[in-house]
Amino acid sequence: MTEYPREEVEAAFRKQRELNDQQRWAEYCELFTPDGVYVEHEMGTFVGPEAIKAWIIPTMAPLVDAKWEYPMEWFTIDGNRVIFKWRNVLPNVDGRAGGFEFAGVTVLEYGGNGKFALQEDIYNMKECEAVMGKWFAAGGTL
C-alpha cells in the first residue's frame, strides 16, 4: 500500500470538509476513488462515486433545506487515515439553550490523487432519533 505525504492527505481532507460544510454533495462524491466505499451503518454500504451519489444526494437534500450543519470538533491524521469527530447540529427552532445535536466519528482512508478509498460514519442512531424527535416536537421540519 502506498503511503502518501501528510500534506497531500491533509489537502484532500480539507477539500472534503469544505464540500461537506457547503453541502455540495454532487462534488463531494467526486472525492472518492472509482472503487471507493462509503459505509453508513444505518443505511448501507455504497461502492463507487455514482452509487454514493445516488444515495447521498436524495438523503441529504431534506437536511440541506432544513439548514443542518456539521461542524468538526477535532481530527487526526495517521498515514493515509484521517479520523475526525463531528456534530449534527439541527437549527434551533425554539430558542432553547444548547439546541439540538448529536455527535459522530468518521474514518477516511486516502487513496491518492485527491480522492478517498473509504469513508465510514459511526454514530448512535438511537441518539439521532431522540434528538430528531425533540426537534420535530419543537417545530422543526424537513
Query: Quick check: pTM over 0.75?
Result: yes
Q: Is residue 1 part of a domain?
A: no
Q: Is residue 121 part of a domain?
A: yes
Work out how many domains the chain is built from and give that number: 1
Going by C-alpha positions, the residue among 78, 83, 79, 77 that lies closest to residue 4 is 79
Q: Is residue 55 part of a domain?
A: yes
Residue 114, classified by CB atoms within 10 Å of its CB into exposed (0-12), middle (13-18) or buried (19+), is middle
Q: Is residue 91 part of a domain?
A: yes
Chain position carrying cell 462515486? 49
pLDDT for the residue numbered 95: 78
Whole-number Å distance between alpha carbons of 135 and 113: 40
Whole-number Å distance between alpha carbons of 111 and 21: 22
Write the CATH number for 19. Answer: 3.10.450.50
Q: Is residue 85 part of a domain?
A: yes
- Tens of pLDDT, residues 9-58: 999 999 999 999 999 999 999 999 999 999 999 999 999 999 999 999 99
Range of the domain at 18: 6-137
